[in-house]
Amino acid sequence: MKVFYDKDADLSLLKSRKVAIIGFGSQGHAHAQNLRESGIDVRVGLRQKGASWAKAEAAQLQVRTVAQAVAEADLVMMLIPDETIADVYRAEVEPNIRQGAVLAFAHGFNIHYGQLEPRADLDVIMIAPKAPGHTVRATYSAGGGVPSLVAVAQDRSGNSHNIALAYAAAIGSGRAGIIETNFREETETDLFGEQVVLCGGMVELVKAGFDTLVDAGYAPEMAYFECLHELKLMVDLMYEGGIATMNYGISNNAEFGEYRVGPKIITDQTRQAMRDVLAEVQNGEYAKAFILESRAGGPVLRSRRRLDAEHPIEQVGAKLRAMMPWIARNRMVDTSRN
């Protein structure tokens, strides 16, 4: 594995280019503002007067329609949802992007699964920060950065790798580490990690623990603190120094319980389910399901969002968090701004 830092990146490769950020969601707002503060000439491409237009203007960024932003740029970074990238590329990017320009992604999904075929004259690269955009922005603003993965899918100029390094450094990743990978590896590991651990596995584990305690007659507030609120404390310790640091920071009682009970929760059956999930990611079955869901208008997403919002853990959590105003004061996600 190759790891690069600020010293390995030549920002002049980016400062000599005009950059268009397509989208102003979680990653879009972070990339655009970090790039600008690194001295890059950046503009944001959005739907005309769409929901994010005023937010980008409030951030004092240059705002254009997607077609206008693409036509002005030498590097175009696609930071809209995965399910919309292929259509936007065909309708607004491909007809307007300059010959020999750079087309960039923050996730390899559309390239790896063949949802679009980039024009042959383009460099095609990936810069994938390993954190949500709100963390990318907050960490940069505090003088740090989050690690990023970089990869090259199409190298027409012979300089794609260096351009990717420059971009990663400009959003702050050179301060933490820029790791070389490829589109397949990034896509498959990212999807697996999200589904099995970071999102799917974690959410279901938290809800199941909460439900078990409440069903046994314990107060929902107690269940919330034990199964959700304190999760951040454990993750922060692991983030700081790995599992060993977490175990050092907890009681002997908690550590003993970890060793005794963890394998009862993550069983051979669970591990086989993980292998099955990985196989569906590798063979494209998951991608096919997600694409069909998107084309149908997201019925599963809408239904599950509604059901999860009605789960008692969300109702109890909202009340308890209101008792802790410092959480809101230090929030990373501000929907009014990005």
Beta bridge partners of 179: 3, 149
* Residue labelled with tokens 């992604």: 105
For the four alpha carbons of 50, 107, 337 and 302, in that order, the dihedral sign comes to positive
Burial 263-278 (b: 16+ CB within 10 A, else e): eeeeeeeeeeebeebb
Distance of alpha carbon 276 from alpha carbon 282, whole angstroms = 10
Query: How do beta strands 123-129 and 148-154 pair?
Result: antiparallel
Distance of alpha carbon 29 from alpha carbon 79, whole angstroms = 9
107 in active site: yes
For the four alpha carbons of 236, 241, 242 and 246, in that order, the dihedral sign comes to negative
Type of residue found at 317: G
Distance of alpha carbon 78 from alpha carbon 66, whole angstroms = 10
Distance of alpha carbon 127 from alpha carbon 284, whole angstroms = 22
Secondary element (H or E) of residue 31: helix 26-37
Q: Which entry of 29, 31, 107, 134 is annotated as an active-site residue?
A: 107
Cα within 13 Å of Cα(38), Cβ side: 35
The gap between the terminal CA atoms of the chain, to the nearest Å, is 34
Q: What are phi and psi of 18, to 5 degrees?
A: -95, 135
Distance of alpha carbon 175 from alpha carbon 189, whole angstroms = 23
Alpha helical stretches, state H, 194-230: 200-215, 220-224
C-alpha of 46 from chain center: 19
Positions marked active-site? 107
